[in-house]
Structure formats: C-alpha cells, structure tokens
Amino acid sequence: MSLKNTFEKLELNNEKALAVFLTAGYPTDADFPKLVTGIFSAGADIIEIGIPFSDPLADGPVIQKSSKLSLDNNITMDKIFEYVYDIRKVTDKPLVLMGYANPVMSYGTDKFLAKCAEYKVDGVIIPDVPVEEYSSFFTTNSDIDKIMLTTPTSSDKRIQDIDKLSKGFVYCVSVTGTTGVRNEFTEEIEKNLERTYSLIKENKMMIGFGISKPEDINRFKDYSDGFIVGSAIVKSLENDVNNNDYSKTFELVKSLKEACK
C-alpha cells in the first residue's frame, strides 16, 4: 500500500499515521524481519528502516549506539534489501529507507533507487540532502517517494519549497539538535509546528524528533497528519532484547497508535 493510500485510508477513519523508526539489523540480524512485522501488527502504519552509518550526525546517543552495533554485525545495504524482500512476503504496508547520503552514494545512488523500486520500497529519506542539492543527488527519474525535512529554523519559503519537492509526506523536525526523547516541548516549539503545518499544502506532514509517548501525540494532533517515533522504540528494544522478548516494545507501539486515533 502506497504512502498516499495509507494517509487517505487513515483520514477516512479520522486517525493520524504512526511511523516507527528501526535501525536495520538491530537488535539482532536474525529477528529483524519478524520484528518489523510484529511492529506493524502492534499498530504502526509506516516503518522507517534506518541505514546504519559510522557518523550519524543528526542522531542522538540511542540511535548512534544501535547504528554502531549494526555496523559491527556487518549489516550492509544488500542485507537491508534482503530484509525488505522477506518483509514483503508478509505485508504490503509502507516501508521507508532512511539514511545519510554517504552510504547511498557509496552504494551508487542510481543502483539504490533501482533496488528500492525492485524490492517495493515506498519512500526514501536522506536527511543531509538539502533542497539545493536535490536535483544533483536524485538524477534518476524514479517513482520512489522522496521525503524531505523541515526544521525549526526553516523559513516560510524554504518550507514551501520542501513541500513542492517532497512526495509521500514532509518530515517536520520538531526541535533543533539531534534525535532523542524530550521530556518537555516549549510553547515556541508548538508555535513553530503550527506554522509549518499551515504552510504544507502539497503533502501530509509528520512530526519527528522527540516524540516518545502518547501525551506528545495528543498535544500536537492539531498540527500534524502523523508522528514518527524512533529513539523511544530503539531504547525499548535495547531493554527488551535482554529478555529475548519484544512484548514491551509492542505495548509501547500499541499505546502510541491508540493516541493517534
């Protein structure tokens, strides 16, 4: 199911979308496809699979640690496409690959997009490719949705430009700094989310960075079409893996999805 169709279906049910970020191959290589399908079953509408990288500048310590462990376990781009192949055997729900430009360029950008199409990846997020470099980075005409990011410092015009270039949805970074759980959001952050949402006309908008609990979703429901949760999930998996049981993570996903309704 495409991202567009997913949002349309959720809108009919008056629901917000829940996207869950997982680092590819974390916490274990063997269990990863089963983990993804379990997260979908728990309520996620979209799953972002993070491409591990040695220098993930936009990520906080939780995701940085998971990325390093995946690299230590030799999780390569080809391995990630193997995961997608296995996941596609059991679900057609949206899968988005998220990673930095360097690993994609090292693999070959055209080859990467061709593999995404072959393995039915729905979208890609390359956070360090700005508007100015979009056309030089994505030189191949591909139907894969390219999802771009706004930040709290983005001007009105830049947000509008990002909206025009994006397809699938616009990723609204809620706070300055790196990914990670936030204990509080200021009134200034809330006003910026409201501003950004009012400027997005071509796409749906999802809020990420710092969203970690149902209360966060309930607070910002009026300024978003969905929410992206990463660090809180990865941290939960770190705790769960010691018991070889992901039940607490699945419960967290269920509670987050319930707040989206």
Residues serving a catalytic function are 48, 59
User: Strand 170-173 and strand 149-150: pairing?
Assistant: parallel
Angle between helix 61-72 and 231-241 (nearest 10): 50
- Rounded to 5 degrees, what are φ and ψ at 181? -70, 135
Secondary structure (3-state) at 162: helix
| Alpha carbon distance 121, 159 (integer Å) | 25
Give exposure, 225-248, as e/b (b: 16+ Cβ within 10 Å): bbbbbbbbbbbbbbebbeeeebee
| Alpha carbon distance 132, 27 (integer Å) | 36
Based on the number of CB atoms within 10 Å of its own CB, is 213 exposed (0-12), middle (13-18) or buried (19 or more)?
middle
| Alpha carbon distance 20, 12 (integer Å) | 21
Q: Please identify which residue in the block is written with the tokens 């949705």.
A: 145
